[in-house]
Structure 1
């Protein structure tokens, strides 16, 4: 192969040009070429012209060779337009090699677009620099924004969810394909009008997965009245967990008696009891909840909480003791205080310090004064008991399972609460027969004295069609939560420099998804009964 054939092979991408010289300048390779002597079309009228008015030199970058930059020095002609009244002269272009106002060849631009489409600004610039294609991050973003938007297919099943662009100030809505988990679009706000306009502009959607937002529900109902709305099973379980926790708190006086746990009896407890009598006194007189809140100068939700309690004892709570460094030595303290009730705390401190205690004397004083050292077993908070109640039975330790059986048998309401939780959890595994099971579960809950679960069932009734679709269809809004978290990760990496435009999938990932790590925020399952199968 001679030199000319070698040059034509290496620079085959610029074959429409006539290569005249190749110079190695060490850090770069300079290729001198000229445009072919053929008539060129006028960019305005399209008439071919071969009349030369003058010559110009263009310096453009080309694809690197041997790890070195390649600079293309091309002599182009300025031609005269033969059409009367059209522009006088124009500079010829070489389609497929040189484009108007560009300082890179077409094939180099194509490679730059491929890199920045996957890595965006700074990361793309670092990789391009390693490939001897240096450019600034601002140029990389301009190239990225210059990529034409693809026309993707309209998915049959979508998922929608909101996320914060600036917490408590500005929010956006992400839309994904619920079957392929690809991000479809990002809307600039979370209003019903924005989602409704998007749905009307993209007909063909049959199923929409969402959370419990009434805003999204109304937008879907107006834009797609025949579409099936699917509520998120994670949120259903989370709401049940919150209701169960409130019920456990409301029956603290029942199960705390089994543990010999103390109940708040200080000034705060007295104020709570007085408020309960005030609220129920007004309710018995026929005063509404909103008027009660106005007269007592309390928040409406606070009045509702007092109204749900049928007895004042339901408002009392056990202390929220956290785990302490003294807990491992509780048995030793209990034994020593039983043998010698007058033993000084300083002696107990020295004894447990020799056993590995790393806390201070004040911590031991507080632990003993709270009565935690004399209890038969370590203190259990309402949240910990609720977690045991909402955990799969097979995942509980034998001691915890026996303790849970004792605590749930403390009163009929706790027994009913345990039964309702255990019968609701299987509904989160979608089955066609779950629709009838859900109706029977709601009817069963209404026969019990569990006001917080009654509020939960009222929420299910308000969104009954979407809840039934959630427990019968395999679709879920879980993938939307994951894509939502990945979108927020991109926003954090950009630190606001690129703006909202680059959050849209057509501008950043071309519906390929983010290839980074990280777990969706919804992956922190609440007290874990249903597990991954519910997503």
Structure 2
């Protein structure tokens, strides 16, 4: 009864077996068990049999108990197939869901090691597993990580595309995600147009592509998906505007040099603001243009027309740095148009890139591209 009670509580994961004894020694728990005396089908012909030809011993590890390793000494049967003509005269029985072929760990222990390796990789997994009474080598941890199945590839309607550095200024890769859910879809070696174009041609179904201002990606999408809508990332548009505004402010710094500078400036000091505006009308126009552009970054129907009007206003003012921004907007007009009118964005791609950098720091640059790609695509 004591053994039956342990099976129902501590060893519930071994309920498919008949546990005959549980002993303790050398800092581990040893479980002696055997398979049940039931008929099972032949793996080749499917004929059900319970005729025993012999027995084999398997020694496997299970999840730890009370900080101690658990070793299962299991007796399995070799059965005889009664079907005439079956190529398997005898076969060793398997325990699906509990123990896979040629494995020395139970399926649930393998799952635990795999999930720890998914988060920590090789050496860190080996260190932590040792403390948890599940000793594994870093090579075993990485092998379990590589065997984790990737999710089934489903091509989304809206994708986000961005690059990240494998080795800064030398090697880069491209990541593709579902822009609506953030699900990782693919990781491509390199960031050239041919690589992305080839992937898009091999995986049809994409209708909208969110990207930054990369002319390389823009050309790849145009060649592979001429009918797809391209959406420029609004954060990059705002950053480009901020950079140009900073240059304009620096260029006009002398305009308010005689105004009484910074110790007397308060948020609600309208008198000082009026003096600054009077000293440099270009800055007044610049402030108005910045506010107008910020309003366009909330996507809405009709923003494309407003953007055209904003560009005309920006070119009518003597602000050369801002004028260069408008030239860039017109070069990538269709994507910018999509950015201010459609709800899609590349923000989730940037979030995935941040996660990718954390993974690369954990691996300290020792992982090859295949292992890194596998790690990124795992859910």
- Indicate the TM-score class for this superposition, using the shorter chain for normalisation: 0.7 to 0.9
Q: Secondary structure at the match of 1:484?
A: helix
SS in 2 for 1:148: coil
Alignment of 1:251-400 (within 5 A): 251-252=251-252, 255-256=253-254, 258-259=256-257, 377=261, 397-399=267-269
User: Which structure has the highest strand share of the two?
Assistant: 2
| Residue aligned with 1:32, SS | strand
Q: Is the 8 A contact 2:256 2:280 kept in 1?
A: no
Contact 1:117 1:508 in 2 (8 A): no
Using the alignment, how far apart are the partners of 1:471 and 1:112 within structure 2? 47
The equivalent of 2:370 in structure 1 is 501
Q: Which residue of 1 aligns with 2:207?
A: 206
Q: What is the TM-score when the length of structure 1 is the normalising length? A: 0.61
CA distance 1:7–1:423, shift in 2 (3 Å): closer
- With 463-472 and 187-196 compared, the bigger mean Cα shift is at 187-196
Equivalent of residue 467 in structure 1, options 328, 336, 351: 336
Q: CA deviation at 1:30?
A: 1.0
**Superposition deviation, residue 507 in structure 1:** 3.7
The CA RMSD measured in Å over matched residues stands at 3.4
C-alpha separation in 2, matches of 1:16 and 1:248? 75
The answer (yes or no) to whether the contact 1:49–1:80 under 8 Å persists in 2 is yes
2:176 aligned partner: 175
Report the equivalent of 1:324.
Answer: none
Report deviation, 1:212: 0.5
The offset of 1:503, in angstroms, is: 3.5
Structure 2 gaps of 5+ residues are: none
2:206 partner SS? coil
- The structure number with the bigger radius of gyration is 1
Tell whether the 8 Å contact from 2:3 to 2:20 is kept in structure 1 after alignment.
Answer: no
Matched, 1:132 2:1: no
Alignment length, in residue pairs?
Answer: 376
2:295 equivalent to 1:426: yes
- When residues 55 and 455 of structure 1 are mapped into structure 2, their CA distance, relative to the original with a 3 A threshold, is same
Structure-1 residue corresponding to 2:239: 238
**How far has the Cα of 1:140 moved from its partner?**
1.9
Query: Cα distance, 1:210 vs. partner?
Result: 0.9
Write the distance in 2 (CA, Å) between the matches of 1:467 and 1:257: 33
Unaligned runs of 5+ in 1: 261-374, 380-387, 389-395, 512-535
TM-score (norm 2): 0.84
Contact 1:408 1:418 survives alignment (8 Å): no
CA contact (8 A) 1:80 1:88 kept: yes
Farther-moved stretch of structure 1 (85-94 vs 437-446): 85-94
Q: Quick one: higher RCO (CA 8 Å, sep 6+), 1 or 2?
A: 1
Q: Assess, with a 3 A threshold, how the Cα gap between structure 1 residues 25 and 169 changes in structure 2: closer, same or farther.
A: same
| Residue in 2 that maps onto 1:436 | 305
Asked if 1 retains the 8 angstrom alpha-carbon contact of 2:212 and 2:346, the reply is yes
State yes or no: 1:163 paired with 2:164.
yes
